[in-house]
Amino acid sequence: MKVVLANNLGFCKGVEKALEKAEKVCSEAENKRIYFFGEIVHNKLVTDAFIGKGAMIIKSPQEIKEPGIVVIRAHGIPDKDRKKLLDSGNEIVDCTCPVVLKGQRLVRESDIPVIILGYKGHSEVYSLCGSSDSDVPVISSLSDLDEILPGRYRGVVQTTFSKPLLDKLIEKGRGKGIEIELVNTICRASIVRRECVEELAEGVEAVVVVGAQHSANAKELVQTAIRKGCPAFLVENENSIPDEVFAYNIIGLTAGASTPESQYLKVKERLEIR
Ligand code: SF4
């Protein structure tokens, strides 16, 4: 099987920086406790490697019994959790991606009501909502707009949100008198990877995206290929490639922004020996 790699794939700058900082914490912590607030990035291999270096993954500040160093994930955390961590004597190493920090700032400083355009339940959306003192509605689908009253809103977008869905939401909102003053914070890394998949999809029989099943940017790469009329598959690693992929002769390979190079190269190798 021939495998063609996307021109841009795998770790983005935000992930690289977050991992560099987290590695430094693990190598310099000496005998301090190390906690990671959620997965530093959406990748099991990466998370497991940090657990192997002594990090404990927590989901809330209440889980910490003995203060230590808390590494904040690339998707950020709500302001109230940050405050609790500091108040209980922890040191914070903030690995929040600068693009997410910008979104949080926009929510915090908005002088009109905010809505988040993003996926409900995603850790970044949770952190964006947590940058406001009031309840912030999250719009993930067209039907969510039915719950919003007409008026003017600041729209802050999840960094990995779908652009075609965003466009539809804005259009439907306008028709219902919901004027969304949009700050499009879909990040450059997501945009570039999607453009590369569009190019890739034109010259291959199917696309394989290597990434976590819960990674928004990996899932959107799959949808991008499908919109171009190309079958696409999301696989975690070389052992989880569906049988139907092996029926193709030319595969385009890409990887989400949290997928290490070693992981997608193993998938490439596995496809090529077939
Ligand atoms: S995908 Fe975008 S927002 Fe997420 S870490 Fe990378 S650059 Fe930052």
CA-to-CA distance for 55 and 35, rounded, in angstroms? 5
One fold for both 2-11+189-272 and 99-186?
yes
The ligand 1 atom at the shortest distance from the C-alpha of residue 12 is 6
Output the pTM of the full model: 0.94
Task: Please report which helix (H) or strand (E) contains residue 195, including its range.
Answer: helix 188-202
CA of 124 to the centre of ligand 1 (A): 10
CA-to-CA distance for 73 and 182, rounded, in angstroms? 25
Task: Tell me which of 39, 94, 100 to substitute to probe ligand 1's pocket, judged by most ligand atoms within 8 Å of the beta carbon.
Answer: 100
In this structure, CATH architecture of domain 13-96: 3-Layer(aba) Sandwich (3.40)
The ligand 1 atom at the shortest distance from the C-alpha of residue 98 is 8
Q: How confident is the model at residue 180 (pLDDT cuts 50, 70, 90)?
A: very high
pLDDT at 57: 97
State the catalytic residues. 124
Q: List, in sequence order, every residue forming a beta bridge with 180; answer none if it has no partner.
A: 153
**Arithmetic mean of pLDDT, 12-33:** 95
pLDDT at 116: 98
> Do residues 210 and 267 lie in contact, with contact meaning Cβ atoms separated by under 8 Å?
yes
The one-letter amino acid code at 255 reads: A
- What is 2-11+189-272's CATH number? 3.40.1010.20
CA-to-CA distance for 193 and 85, rounded, in angstroms? 35
Domains of the chain by residue range: 2-11+189-272, 13-96, 99-186
Q: Report pLDDT digits (tens) over 55-105.
A: 999 999 999 999 999 999 999 999 999 999 999 999 999 999 999 999 999
Q: How confident is the model at residue 141 (pLDDT cuts 50, 70, 90)?
A: very high
CA of 111 to the centre of ligand 1 (A): 26
Q: Show the tokens assigned to 41.
A: 């990035």
How much of the chain exceeds pLDDT 70, in percent? 100
Q: Is the pLDDT of residue 201 over 90?
A: yes
CA of 14 to the centre of ligand 1 (A): 5
Q: Report pLDDT digits (tens) over 104-136.
A: 999 999 999 999 999 999 999 999 999 999 999
CA-to-CA distance for 57 and 35, rounded, in angstroms? 6
pLDDT at 30: 84
CA of 261 to the centre of ligand 1 (A): 16
pLDDT at 100: 97
The ligand 1 atom at the shortest distance from the C-alpha of residue 100 is 3
- Detail the DSSP E strand segments found in the chain: 2-5, 34-37, 56-58, 69-72, 91-94, 114-117, 138-139, 151-157, 178-183, 206-210, 232-235, 250-255
> Which CATH code, of 3.30.70.1170, 3.60.21.10, 3.40.1010.20, 3.90.1720.10, is assigned to 99-186?
3.40.1010.20
- Ligand 1: lining residues by beta carbon, under 6 Å: 12-15, 74, 97, 99-100, 159-160, 187, 189-190, 217, 257
Task: Tell me which of 75, 94, 97 to substitute to probe ligand 1's pocket, judged by most ligand atoms within 8 Å of the beta carbon.
Answer: 97
The ligand 1 atom at the shortest distance from the C-alpha of residue 15 is 5
CA-nearest residue, atom 8 of ligand 1: 14
The ligand 1 atom at the shortest distance from the C-alpha of residue 159 is 3
> Do residues 233 and 245 lie in contact, with contact meaning Cβ atoms separated by under 8 Å?
yes
pLDDT at 183: 87
Computed over every residue of the chain, the mean pLDDT equals 96
How much of the chain exceeds pLDDT 90, in percent? 97
pLDDT at 29: 87
Task: Please report which helix (H) or strand (E) contains residue 51, including its range.
Answer: helix 44-52
Task: Tell me which of 11, 40, 99 to substitute to probe ligand 1's pocket, judged by most ligand atoms within 8 Å of the beta carbon.
Answer: 99
Q: Show the tokens assigned to 177.
A: 């008198």
CA of 134 to the centre of ligand 1 (A): 26
CA of 187 to the centre of ligand 1 (A): 6
CA-nearest residue, atom 6 of ligand 1: 14
